[in-house]
Structure 1
Amino acid sequence: MVLLASALFMAWAIGANDSAKAVGTAVGSGVIGFKRAVLLIGVFVTLGVFLGGAGVSGTISGMAEGMNPTHVGLVLFSAATAVTLASLWGRPISTTQSIIGGLVGASLALGLPVNWWTVGKIVSAWVLSPLIAALFAVAVYRIYKPAMKGIKGLRNLELAQKWLVFTAAAYSSFNLGANELSNVAGLLQSLGVDGPFKLVLALTLALGALTFSYNVMMTVGRELAPLGPTSAFSSQFGASLAVSAANLFGLPVSSGQAIVGAISGLGLYKGENVNLGLLVGIARGWVVAPIAAGALSYVMITILA
């Protein structure tokens, strides 16, 4: 019971925070309304967790070896608590980092060996993903902007831009299911829970997006840097490419780090006003989140398990 309740709490927390990174640029630039964005998330996250998350699930489940359902439930509860606190603050945090931090804290509390090589690879991916996303975003922008100039007629241009931003948001939502939600699914799979429960997780994530994600969406889509349709598409698509590359290697990275890196990198490339104070605050949260989740997991397992 603890495991399933915590898994649903974690899925809701991912929806409340990480969904902003999937559709924040689309909503912030005014291309998609909030409720339509939530519907888009629900559909494509479901596809992502069923079709694209095998490699990530395998990596995460391997880190939970030796843990029973109660231990894993406390890990998920600790990670979800850290993410929810960040959502209350309106900051995009990394649910992936929180789960990995919780797993490391639990392993230390239980006296289980920690595969520091795997942890090191994952942390390296966390550092590289925003940088790679920024490079992808700039590359996409340099290809995309001239292509848009070749479209005749203002109406045709606007329609093309809207559909491309929608496509990038759908792609990013798919990655949200294939990466972040697959972290939760992987932990459940390691304990024999699989199949239809992924659909329940996806629907719970959509509920989190509907009920609690708006403030984080505005942080990503409006407060970090100015976003028009061209920048929104380039940032979102560049970030999605970076996350997809990590998925191919089975590395659980953060779509939040990728989209923040893409928006910031493209904004600096274009010479726009990037909110550096906000960026530093977000980066600080990336460090605090796994430490807080790990510490809470360690304390809870020491006391309760």
Structure 2
Amino acid sequence: MILALLPAVFFGWTLGRNDAANIYGTTVTSGILRYRSAALISALAVLIGAIIGGAGGMQTLSKLSSHTLLSASVNAAAAGISVLLLNRIGLPVSSSQAVVGSVVGIGLISGGVDWLAVLKIVACWLTTPLGAAIAGYILYRFFGFWFRKIPSILAQDIILKSSAIIIGGLGSFALGANNVANVTGSFAE
């Protein structure tokens, strides 16, 4: 049983390797936080997000196709290898797309893919960037308007630094909530 879970650990490692910079990369490179502090905050928030918010994604992923312990292990290994290889050659990669592709590939062999669930996931992949672009535009306009009204540069600096740390924690929470399903969803029933 433990050996069957090693591919999930490997995939979790590649996922963290791939996504870590998305959360606190600019916060660390700009000197707002040290790397170790960012890693600790992020790790704690990812863990909390996985525990509190991960069930929904896990249910969706586990519905794509039925799995045995072997197919779940192969799924995690295939997704982890694809993420690692694409990272090594410098291409952007989505762990969600890697794991869904792996599940569909295995499902095609075993004869069972829930195409409605696949369609739902693909719809999310198409609408998420658009929704994020709209939210980013609106939030930047709103907060930018109020931020420019702060007269003190010191106050602006404190607000920016504090916000970067807090938003990074929230992003890490979301990362854990979303990606726990990618790593363990095939093992769920």
Alignment of 1:289-300 (within 5 A): none
Deviation at 1:99, TM superposition (A): 0.4
1:169 paired residue number? 168
- Give the C-alpha shift of residue 28 in structure 1: 4.4
Q: Which has the higher contact order (CA 8 A, sep 6+)?
A: 2
How far, CA to CA, are the matches of 2:87 and 2:28 in structure 1?
A: 17
Alignment deviations for residues 232-284 of structure 1 (CA, whole Å, 9 cap, x no partner): xxxxxxxxxxxxxxxxxxxxxxxxxxxxxxxxxxxxxxxxxxxxxxxxxxxxx
For residues 8-23 of structure 1, what are the structure 2 equivalents within 5 Å?
8-23=9-24
CA distance in 1, matches of 2:92, 2:24: 13
Please state how far the C-alpha of 1:114 moved relative to its aligned partner: 1.1
Are the equivalent residues in 2 in contact too, given 1:2–1:74 (CA < 8 A)? no
Q: Work out the CA distance in 2 between the residues paired with 1:64 and 1:139.
A: 38
* 1:290 counterpart residue number: none
Map 1:93-242 → 2, pairs under 5 A = 93-111=93-111, 113-190=112-189
AA matched with 1:61: S
Partners of 1:64 and 1:30 lie apart in 2 by 45
Deviation at 1:2, TM superposition (A): 4.0
Residue 63 of structure 2 corresponds to which residue in structure 1? Answer: 62
Normalized against structure 1, the TM-score is what? 0.58
How big is the shift at 1:150? 2.4
The corresponding residue for 1:7 is 8
Distance 2:123 2:108 in 1: 21
Amino acid at match of 2:162: W
Distance 1:95 1:54 in 2: 17
Question: After the TM superposition, which residues 86-97 of structure 1 pair with which residues of structure 2 at under 5 Å, given as runs?
Answer: 86-97=86-97
- Which residue does 2:74 correspond to in 1? 74
Q: CA deviation at 1:31?
A: 2.9
TM-score by length of 2: 0.92
Instruction: Give % identity.
Output: 31
Gaps of 5+ in 2: none
- Cα offset for 1:16? 0.4
Cα distance in 1, alignment partners of residues 40 and 91 from structure 2:
22
Render the CA deviation track for 1:56-96: whole Å, top value 9, x for unaligned.
1111112242x210111001100000111122234431000
Contact 2:64–2:115 at 8 Å: present in 1 too? no
Q: CA deviation at 1:44?
A: 0.3
8 Å CA contact 1:2, 1:70 repeated in 2:
no
Number of matched pairs? 188
Equivalent residue number for residue 31 of structure 1: 32
Structure-2 change in CA distance of 1:107 and 1:2 (3 Å): farther
